[in-house]
Structure 1
Amino acid sequence: MTNNSSEIPASSAPKKENAFLNIALNIVIPTVILMKFSGPDDLGPQLGVIVALAFPIGYGVMDYFRAKKINFFSALGVLSILLTGGITLLELDPKYIAIKEATIPALFGLATLISLKTRYPLVKTFLFNDNVMQTKKVHDALAKSANEPQFERCLINASYMIASSFALSSVLNYALAKWVLVSAPGTEEFNAELGKMTALSLPVITLPAMAVLIFALFYLFRQITKLTGLSLEEVFVDPEEHKKR
Structure 2
Amino acid sequence: MTQAVNQPKSEPKRESLLLNLLLNIVIPTVILTKFSGPEALGTQWGIVVALAFPIIYGLNDFRRSGKVNLFSALGVLSIFLTGGISLLELDPKYIAIKEAGIPALFGLATVISLKTRFPLVKTFLYNDKILQVDKVAEALKRKGNESAFDGALVNASYLIAMSFFLSSVLNYALAKYLLVSPPGTEEFNAELGKMTALSFPVIAVPATLVMMGALFYLFSRIKHLTQLELDDILIQQ
Structure 2: where are the runs of 5+ without partners?
none
How far apart, in 1, do the equivalents of 2:12 and 2:222 lie?
A: 30
How much has 1:2 moved relative to structure 2?
9.8
Partner of 2:33: 35
How far apart, in 2, do the equivalents of 1:118 and 1:16 lie?
A: 32
Partner of 2:187: 189
Which residue of 104, 123, 126 maps to 1:125? 123
Q: Note if contact 1:145-1:228 (Cα within 8 Å) is conserved in structure 2.
A: yes
How much has 1:58 moved relative to structure 2?
0.1
Partner of 1:243: none
How far apart, in 1, do the equivalents of 2:66 and 2:94 lie?
A: 33
How much has 1:189 moved relative to structure 2?
0.4
Matched, 1:223 2:221: yes
Q: CA RMSD in A?
A: 1.1
How much has 1:14 moved relative to structure 2?
2.7
Matched, 1:205 2:206: no
Q: Which amino acid aligns with 1:103?
A: G
Q: Which amino acid aligns with 2:154?
A: I
TM-score normalised by the chain length of structure 2:
0.97
Which residue of 87, 90, 93 maps to 1:92? 90
Q: Which amino acid aligns with 2:7?
A: S
Partner of 1:142: 140
Deviates more, 1:99-108 or 1:16-25: 16-25
Q: Note if contact 1:181-1:194 (Cα within 8 Å) is conserved in structure 2.
A: yes
TM-score normalised by the chain length of structure 1:
0.94
How much has 1:4 moved relative to structure 2?
5.6
Matched, 1:72 2:76: no
Partner of 1:6: 7
Q: Which amino acid aligns with 2:228?
A: L
How far apart, in 1, do the equivalents of 2:5 and 2:180 lie?
A: 60
Partner of 2:51: 53
Pairs aligned (count): 236
Segments ≥4 residues shifted beyond 2 Å:
1-5
How much has 1:206 moved relative to structure 2?
0.2
Q: Note if contact 1:15-1:67 (Cα within 8 Å) is conserved in structure 2.
A: no
Residue deviations 1:175-200, cap 9 Å, x none? 00000000000000000000000000
How far apart, in 2, do the equivalents of 1:17 and 1:236 lie?
A: 21
Residue deviations 1:108-147, cap 9 Å, x none? 0011011101111000000000010000000000000000
Q: Which amino acid aligns with 2:187?
A: E
SS of alignment partner, residue 116 of structure 1: helix
Q: Which amino acid aligns with 1:148?
A: E
Partner of 1:21: 19
Residue deviations 1:216-244, cap 9 Å, x none? 000000000000000010120111xxxxx
How much has 1:3 moved relative to structure 2?
6.4
How much has 1:5 moved relative to structure 2?
3.2
Which residue of 166, 172, 175 maps to 1:174? 172
Q: Note if contact 1:133-1:235 (Cα within 8 Å) is conserved in structure 2.
A: yes
Question: Percent identity of the aligned residues?
Answer: 65
Partner of 1:157: 155
How much has 1:91 moved relative to structure 2?
0.1
How far apart, in 1, do the equivalents of 2:64 and 2:3 lie?
A: 29
Q: Which amino acid aligns with 1:195?
A: G
